[in-house]
A and B are shown apart, each in its own frame.
Chain A
Amino acid sequence: MSLLVCTNCNQHYLKTESTCPRCSRSTRRSSAANGLLLLLGLSVTACNDTKDTGEDVADTAIEAEPEMAALYGVEEVIDNDGDGYGEDVDCDDNDPNINPDAEETPGDGIDSNCNNDDDT
C-alpha cells in the first residue's frame, strides 16, 4: 500500500486521498522537496503532477513495505565476506582483504580500500 508524505507537516496520507489527516492541507499542491528524505538518500518516487494547479508537486510516495520482526538483526546490511563491512560500503564483499579500511598496496591493480583508486 502506498502512502504519500505531506510536504507541509511530513505526515503520511493514503495515495487514494488528497488531504493530509494531520494538517488537513490539500497535499498535492506543494512544491517543496522533502528535505529529510533527501538527507536519508532514500529511494522514493516523486509524484510530479501539474494538471491541477500548474505548480510543481513533490509529494513523495512511500511503499508501506512489510517489515519483519525488526526486534532483532540487521534488515538491510549484509556482510558476505565477514570482514565487518557490509555490501553497502564494501567494494568487494566477497574478499575480506578488501574494505574501506584495508591497507592499500599501490600499483597492484587492486583498489583494496574502496576509494576508487589503486593509489599508484
Chain B
Amino acid sequence: MTEKNTPRRLRPDDYQNPKPVYAVWEITLRCDHACAHCGSRADKARPNELSTAELIDVADQLIRIGTREVTLIGGEAYLRSDVYELVEHLSKAGIYVAMQSGGLGLTERRLKKLKKAGLRGIGISIDGPEHAHDVLRDRPGSWKMGMKAIQRASELGFIVTSNTQINQLTLPHLRETSQFIRKAGVRVWRVQITVPMGRAADRPEWLLQPYQVLQLLDDLAQLKIELLELAHRKGVNPRRIMNITMGNNVGYYGPHEHLLRSAPGVRAKVWSGCQAGKFTLGIESDGRIKGCPSLPTAPYIGGNIRDLTLEQIWNDTPELRFVRDRTTSELWGHCKTCYYSDVCRAGCSFTTHCFFNRRGNNPFCYFRAANLRDEGKRERVRQIQKAEGIPYDFGKFEIIEEDWPQT
C-alpha cells in the first residue's frame, strides 16, 4: 500500500522547524452536558470568549504558521452559531477540519450544515455501555443520543471515530463497547485513561489504578487481533472493520505497543514522547494558548492571542517550548532509571502533571507495571490534595508501592 501524506504525518521540514501541525481548538466552554469527569468543567461559556472576527484572525494565524489539521472541541463546538463560518474558512485554506463531540445536539440539520462547510471528520465520545456512560456524562439519555449521532454522521458520509474514557466504570466493558460502536459505524475507536483534571479530580474512586493498565492493554490487544482476523477471513481491508488505538496517555512499550498504536497497513508506530508544543497546539476559548489541549491551564499557558501573535507564543514562551527544550533531567521515580527514559520521557505530560503536580514519573505504564508484577509488586495512587474547582484544575496524588495480593 502506498502511504499518502496525511495532514498529521510529519514531513522533513517539520522536524527542522517544529510547527503546530495539529491544533485542537476549544471554541467555547458552553456545553449541553456537564459531564462528571469533564477535565475543563465545561457547562457555561467563558465570559470573554473570542468573537467571530477573533476566531477568523486566529484561523489565519494557524494557516500562516503551517497548521494542517484542526479539531474543534468545546464545551460543544456546535453550540457556537459561527462554527460553520470557521469550518469553511479553515477548510477553504486546505486544512483538514474535524470536530469532537458528545453528540447530544448533533442533529441532521447541524451535521449537513457542517458537512457543507467542509467538516471532514466527527468524533463522538462514548464512555462504555449506557449505564456507565450516562453516569459519567451525568445525563440520562446521553448514550442513546450519542449512539444516534454516530449513526447519523456515518450515514451522512463523515468518517466517524469514537473516544472512550477508561476508568473503573468502563474497564469491565471493553468487549461490549467495541462491538456496539463498530456496529454503529465507528471507524476508529480510541481509548484514553480518565485523568484527575477538572471534575474527574472530584471522583478519585473512578480512576484506574496503575496496575490495571496490564489488563486494559491485554484486553484491547485481544480485541484488535480478533478484528484483524475477522477482516482477514472476510478478505476486506481491516480499516473497513474498525481500528482500535490508544490515546497518548495509554501505553507504554509493552508487547502490544505497536499493535495498538498503529493503524493497519501503514508505518508501524510506537510511543515517542509527548509532542505538546512541538507539533501540536491547544487553544482555549478565551484565546489562551498551550502546547496540547489537555494540558492543565495554570502551568502551561504560554500567552493569550489577544496579547501576542501565535508565532510569538509558539517560538518564545517556555510553556510552549518545554518539550522542544527539555532533557531527561526532569524524570524522577522509576522513570528516571527506565530503559526507555530517553525516548519515552514519562509518557503523557498532561496525565503525570495532573496526578503528581509535576511531570517526569508515570506509573500508568505497561512496561513498568509488568516488571513490578514480576517482582510481586504493584503501584496504587491515592489522592492527597483536592482540586480547587475551576476549569482544567488538578489536585495531587501519591504513589504507593505494595505487594501484589495473593490470589
Which residues in A have some Cβ–Cβ distance to B below 8 Å? 1, 3, 5, 9-12, 14, 21-22, 36-37, 39-44, 60, 62-79, 82-84, 86-89, 96, 100
Contact present for B279 and A39 (CB under 8 Å):
no
Contact present for B264 and A82 (CB under 8 Å):
no
Chain B residues with CB under 8 Å of A86's CB are 159, 187, 239
What is the chain B residue whose CB lies nearest that of A3?
B270
- B378 interfacial contact with A, CB 8 Å: no
Say whether, besides A43-B268, A82-B120, A68 and B159 are in contact (CB < 8 Å).
no
Contact present for B264 and A72 (CB under 8 Å):
no
Say whether, besides A39-B228, A69-B292, A77 and B269 are in contact (CB < 8 Å).
no
Contact present for A89 and B255 (CB under 8 Å):
no
Contact present for B159 and A84 (CB under 8 Å):
yes
Chain A residues with CB under 8 Å of B262's CB are 40, 42
What is the chain B residue whose CB lies nearest that of A67?
B269
Q: How far is the CB of B93 from chain A (nearest CB, A)?
A: 16
Contact present for B161 and A42 (CB under 8 Å):
no
Q: How far is the CB of A46 from chain B (nearest CB, A)?
A: 12
- B210 interfacial contact with A, CB 8 Å: no
Contact present for A75 and B272 (CB under 8 Å):
no
Looking at the complex, which one of B24, B161, B272 makes contact with A66 (CB distance below 8 Å)? B272
- B376 interfacial contact with A, CB 8 Å: no
Q: How far is the CB of B357 from chain A (nearest CB, A)?
A: 21
Q: How far is the CB of A7 from chain B (nearest CB, A)?
A: 11
Chain B residues with CB under 8 Å of A21's CB are 339-340, 367
A76 to B307, CA, bound (A): 35
14 examples of A-B residue contacts, CB within 8 angstroms: A10-B255, A10-B256, A21-B339, A21-B340, A43-B268, A65-B270, A66-B10, A71-B294, A75-B6, A76-B263, A84-B157, A86-B159, A88-B265, A96-B157
A72 to B270, CA, bound (A): 17
A9 to B256, CA, bound (A): 10
- B382 interfacial contact with A, CB 8 Å: no
Contact present for B343 and A64 (CB under 8 Å):
yes
Contact present for A9 and B255 (CB under 8 Å):
yes
Chain A residues with CB under 8 Å of B282's CB are 69
Contact present for A70 and B246 (CB under 8 Å):
yes
Closest 3 CB pairs of A and B: A10-B255, A64-B272, A84-B157
Contact present for B121 and A74 (CB under 8 Å):
yes
Most buried by B among A1, A5, A77: A77
- B137 interfacial contact with A, CB 8 Å: no
Contact present for B121 and A12 (CB under 8 Å):
no
Q: How far is the CB of B238 from chain A (nearest CB, A)?
A: 7
A68 to B279, CA, bound (A): 7
A84 to B115, CA, bound (A): 11
Say whether, besides A66-B279, A69-B275, A37 and B258 are in contact (CB < 8 Å).
yes
Looking at the complex, which one of A1, A36, A74 makes contact with B272 (CB distance below 8 Å)? A1
- B206 interfacial contact with A, CB 8 Å: no
Chain A residues with CB under 8 Å of B247's CB are 70-71
- B389 interfacial contact with A, CB 8 Å: no
Contact present for B272 and A67 (CB under 8 Å):
yes
Contact present for A69 and B22 (CB under 8 Å):
yes
Contact present for A66 and B73 (CB under 8 Å):
no
A82 to B158, CA, bound (A): 7
Chain B residues with CB under 8 Å of A71's CB are 24, 163, 190, 192, 247-248, 293-294
Looking at the complex, which one of A39, A44, A79, A83 makes contact with B229 (CB distance below 8 Å)? A39
A9 to B254, CA, bound (A): 9
- B109 interfacial contact with A, CB 8 Å: no
Chain B residues with CB under 8 Å of A75's CB are 6, 8, 245, 263
Q: How far is the CB of A45 from chain B (nearest CB, A)?
A: 9
Contact present for B245 and A66 (CB under 8 Å):
no
A66 to B271, CA, bound (A): 7
Looking at the complex, which one of B71, B188, B257 makes contact with A12 (CB distance below 8 Å)? B257
Looking at the complex, which one of B115, B232, B271 makes contact with A67 (CB distance below 8 Å)? B271
